[in-house]
């Protein structure tokens, strides 16, 4: 398990362990709980790679991922005291490197670096517990649309010219958990999410027998986000 994920889970566990001690303290932002519509913003980090399946029983692509950033806005609609509907449009940036183990040669032949900046627009359902003191754990999940600003989908050049192509419009789903922490001046809401592509993001090479794309059956983004939200 990723070290950052472990630290986040420890943080959530420590916060929940203090719930009983929170019962008699002053509760902040009771007026915010009564609002039907609320707004906020978030920033955070992500680490993404790809889920890849093949037409042959072997692994042809190794993925080297790196950390990126997330930033965006939050619009929420409280359906009742325990359920809210949220939209969180924002930007997500990340870089990955692909190594094609089935291809001999130098970097031009067997290595592809993929830098991508996405418009990430998830529609999420947030289910949270009753408020206890100034803490409120929750789970969150839903579907998302991603537009890849760095997409080279319409580039006539393909891997034979060093261009690994991916689709510009993609759909996915995400699941996560977090906790609302009511502080004197704002509500701090850290969460961790898993994100998974639904559609195949690969644009195949012109040559149907391409050694880069023919062995690949499915190619889709997956990863995790840690978001720090404020509202």
Listing DSSP states for 114-136 in one string gives: EEEEEEEEEEEEEEEPPPBTTEE
- 222 touches 196 (CB < 8 A): yes
What confidence score (pLDDT) does residue 220 get? 96
Element (H, E) at 110: helix 107-110
Q: How far apart are CA 94 and CA 17, in angstroms?
A: 34
Task: For residue 114, give the nearest of 133, 136, 99 by alpha carbon.
Answer: 99
Q: Which two tokens mark 24?
A: 């008699």
What are the domain boundaries of the chain? 3-230
Dihedrals φ, ψ of 81, to 5°?
-70, -15
Q: How far apart are CA 101 and CA 5, in angstroms?
A: 30
What confidence score (pLDDT) does residue 67 get? 94
Q: Which two tokens mark 95?
A: 């870089």
Count of CB atoms within 10 A of residue 229's CB?
Answer: 22
Query: If one looks up domain 3-230 in CATH, what number appears?
Result: 2.40.160.20
From the centroid of its chain, how far is CA 158? Answer: 27
By DSSP bridging, strand 111-128 and strand 169-182 are unpaired
Q: Provide the strand spans (E) within the chain.
A: 37-54, 61-65, 67-78, 83-87, 90-100, 111-128, 135-148, 169-182, 187-197, 216-230
Q: 87 vs 4, 121, 124, 129, CA distance in Å?
A: 25, 7, 6, 20
| DSSP character at residue 202 | B
Q: How far apart are CA 14 and CA 34, in angstroms?
A: 27
Residue ranges of the chain whose pLDDT lies below 70: 1-24
From the centroid of its chain, how far is CA 88? Answer: 11
**pTM of the complete model:** 0.84
């Amino acid at each position: 398990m990723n070290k950052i994920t472990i630290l986040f889970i420890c943080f959530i566990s420590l916060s929940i362990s203090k719930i009983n001690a929170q019962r008699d303290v002053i509760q902040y932002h009771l007026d915010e709980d009564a609002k039907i519509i609320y707004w906020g913003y978030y920033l955070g980090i992500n680490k993404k790679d790809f889920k890849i399946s093949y037409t042959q029983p072997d692994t042809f692509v190794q993925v080297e991922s790196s950390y990126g950033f997330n930033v965006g806005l939050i619009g929420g609609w409280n359906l009742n005291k325990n359920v809210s509907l949220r939209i969180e449009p924002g930007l997500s940036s990340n870089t990955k490197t692909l190594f094609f183990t089935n291809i001999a040669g130098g970097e031009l032949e067997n290595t592809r670096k993929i830098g991508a900046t996405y418009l990430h627009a998830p529609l999420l359902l947030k289910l949270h517990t009753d408020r206890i003191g100034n803490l409120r754990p929750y789970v969150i999940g839903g579907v998302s649309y991603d537009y890849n600003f760095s997409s080279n989908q319409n580039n006539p050049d393909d891997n034979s010219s060093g261009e690994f192509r991916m689709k510009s419009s993609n759909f996915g789903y995400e699941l996560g958990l977090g906790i609302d922490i009511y502080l004197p001046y704002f509500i701090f809401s850290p969460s961790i999410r898993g994100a998974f592509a639904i559609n195949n993001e690969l644009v195949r090479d012109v040559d149907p027998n391409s050694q880069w794309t023919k062995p690949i059956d499915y190619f889709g983004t997956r990863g995790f986000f840690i978001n720090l939200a404020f509202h």
